[in-house]
Amino acid sequence: MTAGEPPGTPPAIETRGLTKRFGRQLAVNGIDLAVPRGSVFGFLGPNGSGKTTTIRVLLGLAAATDGHVRVLGRDVPRHLGEVLPRVGALVEGPAFYPFLSGADNLRRLDAADRHAPSATRTARVAQALERVGLSHAAGKRVRAYSLGMKQRLGIANALLAPRELLVLDEPTNGLDPQGTREVRTLVRSLAAGGTTVFVSSHLLAEVEQMCTHVAVMSVGSLVAQGSMDALRRAGRAHVRVVTPDVEVARAELSRLGLMPDGAGSVSGSEAAPAPESGPASGDGVGAALTAPLPDGGPPPEAIVAALVGAGVRVRGFGVEQASLEDRYVALTGEGFDVAQ
C-alpha cells in the first residue's frame, strides 16, 4: 500500500501461485506478486526468466496453468472484459500501419475500442501525442518514424483513455537520452496522478531512477520483491577506503574481520586531499579498497580509528549500501545491462 492509499485497498496486481507451463517447460513457477496501487513497479529478470509470460497472463493474452490472478481487484480472466478498459499496455513493442500517420494510427486504434467515445477522439489523440512529445510528428507517416518515436507512439496509444494501470514492456527501448528522460518524467507524472505503472525493463539505471518498488524473476521464480529501499537494504554494505598505503590497509581490514576486494586506482577528485599539516605525499591519492561489512561488524568510526592507528593515511572513507545491480547479481547470478 502506498502513501495516501485507503486502508484495505487491494493491490493493483495480485497473483497467488501463478504457474504457466508450455508442455514440459515450466515458464512461471508459482509466483506470488503484489503490486501496490500508485506505485511505479519495476519487473526485472534476465531473458527467459518468465517476465513476458507473466505479463501476457496478467493481460489475458495467455492462460495460466494454475494459480489465481487479480487485476484492479477483479479476478482475471473471469472479469477480463471489465478490467481491460481500465488498463493501458505496451507489450513486446508497438505495431502500426507504416503508411498511416501517427495521428491516423491512433485514431484507427481508438475507433476499434468499443469503450472509447468517438466524440472526443480527435482531442484525446492530440493530447496523447503531446504527452509523449510527438505533436510535431503527428502528420508524419509512421514508416518515417525512428524506433524511439514508434516506442513513444505505443505509449501514446496506451494513454488514449484514462487508465488506472499502465503496463509497459521495455518503454525506453530505442530512445535517446532526451527521450528516455521524457518517458521517465511521464511515468512519474502518471504515478503522481494515481495511475499504477508496471514496468518490465532490462535497464537497471532507468529502473533505479524511475521505480518505487521492484520484483526480480529468475528461471521462472520470483526471488525478491518489495520497495526499492528495502531491496537495497537487504544487500550487504561495503566499506570503501582510499589510501596510498594499500597493503597496510588491507592487512588492518583483514585483522578487523573485513575481507578486502581488489584495489582500484582513483583520481585526486575522488577523495578529499590530505590536510596541509599531514605528511607530505608524492605518491598521489593511492587506491580504493572495498570490503563487505558483515552484520555485527565494527562501526565505521572504529574502522577508521584502527586504520589511522596502524599508520594508514586515510584519504577517503565511506560505507556504501548495496546497489540495485549488486542485489540483482546476488539474486540471479546474471549480468545485466546498466546503461543504454
* 309 CB-near residues (< 8 Å, 6+ apart): none
Residue 111, CA distances (Å) to 38, 118, 304, 332 in order = 29, 7, 67, 43
- The residues near 11 (Cβ < 8 Å, ≥ 6 apart) are 34, 35, 36, 37, 70
Alpha carbon distance 80, 87 (integer Å): 10
Residue among 39, 44, 54, 42 at smallest CA distance from 9: 39
Q: pLDDT (tens digit, 0 to 9) for every residue of the chain, 340 residues total?
A: 454 455 567 899 999 999 999 999 999 999 999 999 999 999 988 888 899 999 999 999 999 999 999 999 999 999 999 999 999 998 877 789 999 999 999 999 999 888 889 999 999 999 999 988 899 999 999 999 988 888 889 989 998 988 999 999 888 877 788 878 888 888 888 888 889 999 998 777 788 888 999 998 988 999 889 888 877 776 667 788 999 999 999 999 989 888 877 555 554 444 444 444 344 344 556 788 888 877 777 888 999 999 999 999 999 998 877 666 666 666 666 554 443 3
For cell 561489512, the residue is 293
- Give me the pLDDT at residue 280, please: 39
- Extract the C-alpha cell encoding 232: 537495497
CA distance 208 to 70: 26
Nearest-CA neighbor of 213 among 40, 33, 31?
Answer: 40
Sequence letter at residue 97: Y
Whether residue 242 contacts residue 269, with contact meaning beta carbons closer than 8 Å, is answered with no
List, in sequence order, every residue forming a beta bridge with 41; answer none if it has no partner.
198, 213
Determine the pLDDT at residue 335. 53
Whole-angstrom distance, CA of residue 219 vs CA of residue 238: 28
What DSSP state is assigned to residue 270? G
Q: Which pLDDT score, from 0 to 100, does residue 285 have?
A: 67
What would the grid cell of residue 159 be? 494513454
284, 277 contact by CB (below 8 A):
no
Contacts 24+ apart (CB under 8 A), 307-310: 307/241, 307/243, 307/249, 307/252, 307/253, 310/248, 310/249, 310/251, 310/252
Distance (Å, rounded) from C-alpha 131 to C-alpha 106? 14
List b or e across 275-286, with b for residues whose CB sees 16 or more CB atoms inside 10 angstroms: eeeeeeeeeebb
* Residue 222 to residue 203: CA distance in whole angstroms: 19
Kindly list the distances between the CA atom of residue 55 and the CA atoms of 16, 166, 167, 304, in Å, as whole numbers in the listed order: 14, 12, 8, 49
**Predicted local confidence at residue 281, as pLDDT:** 42
pLDDT on residue 277: 37
